Amino acid sequence: MSILDWFLDPAQWAGADSIPVQVGYHLLYSGTALLVALAIAVPLGVYIGYTGRGELLVAGAANALRALPTFGLLVLVVMLVAPLVGSRLAFVGPTIVVLVLLAVPPILSGTVAGIQGADPGAVGAARATGYTRPQILWHVQVPCALPLFLSGIRNATLQIVSTATVAAYVSLKGLGRYIIDGRASSDYTQMAAGAVLVAVVALVLELAFLGLGRAVVSPGLTRNPLPTCRRTRTVRPDLVPPSTPRKAAS
């Protein structure tokens, strides 16, 4: 059976273990982990970028977390937690924790770098003209941080989605099922199909982030020459004062 046949088999598209259900679980675990990671990394990143405190901590922690072996950590956490918790939570919890640990470093460093990388001239001008510090943060630093911030989330998401396959190893659902089960029964078609599905999900998310970036990041920052400016139509022509004689713009 070829991969194409496998995908065309109606049995894969209906029932409790169908492709849509597995994709759904995969996204559920990934989404939960991403939300938790955002809840931790964004406030922390904004605080560190804003105050300049704890930058060394970010660098150190980020590198340390990146070096963690995800798979080994998952097994370890499950072994520690399983005796204490009876339900399925014994497997879901550790899976999420591991994915969160994976996602925090890129989001954190993206946020910190974005906030701190805001054009110092713009920040200085805002301060000198009477913006309060929270106003500088909200009106200048955060919008300027968006490109780096989004790229941090994008990295985190892709890492989560590709790593969430480990959930299957601890008996949970998700696209990892095809890979683990296929391996167990030497069904390499199924394994390959699982890998293809993960790749497709990652690709779709990548495109979604591209769209999100265009929607929320100012063209002034992306320097995108395409006329995507959302504000173009909002200055009404009748508000433009009549032309006055002026020198050629320099």
Distance CA 84, CA 65 (A): 25
Dihedral-angle region of residue 112 (phi above 0 means left; psi in -120 to 50 means alpha; beta otherwise): alpha
In the complex with other proteins, the residue whose CB is nearer, 2 or 135, is 135
58: enclosing H helix or E strand? helix 55-67
Residues 216-245 that bind other proteins (CB under 8 A): 218-221, 223, 229, 231-232, 235-236, 239-241, 243-244
Nearer to other proteins, 86 or 241 (CB): 241
Alpha-carbon gap, residue 75 to 93, rounded angstroms: 12
* SS3 call for 179: helix
Buried b / exposed e over 54-79, threshold 16 CB at 10 Å, is eeeebeebbeebeeeeeeebbbebbe
122 contributes a contact to other proteins by CB under 8 A: yes
Query: Please, what sign has the CA dihedral across residues 189, 203, 25, 9?
Result: negative
Q: x/- binding map, residues 12-41, to other proteins, per CB under 8 A?
A: ------------------------------
The rounded distance, in Å, linking the Cα atoms of 179 and 194 is: 6
Q: How far is the CB of 115 from other proteins (least distance, A)?
A: 14
Distance CA 18, CA 11 (A): 7
Nearest distance in Å: CB 125, other proteins: 4
Give the per-residue contact string, 171-210, with other proteins (x = CB under 8 A; - = no).
----------------------------------------
From 5, 9, 55, 119, residue interacting with other proteins (rule: CB under 8 A):
119
Q: What angle do CA 114, 116, 121 make, to 5 degrees?
A: 110
Residue 246 CB, nearest approach to other proteins (Å): 5
The binding track of 126-165 with respect to other proteins, each residue x by CB under 8 A or -, is xxxxxxx--x---xx--xx-x-------------------
Which of the residues 38 through 67 are near other proteins (CB under 8 A)? none
Question: What is the smallest separation between the CB atom of 134 and other proteins, expressed in angstroms?
Answer: 11
User: 60: which residues sit within 8 A by CB, 6+ positions away?
Assistant: none
Residues in contact with other proteins by the rule CB under 8 A = 119, 121-122, 124-132, 135, 139-140, 143-144, 146, 218-221, 223, 229, 231-232, 235-236, 239-241, 243-244, 246-247, 249-250
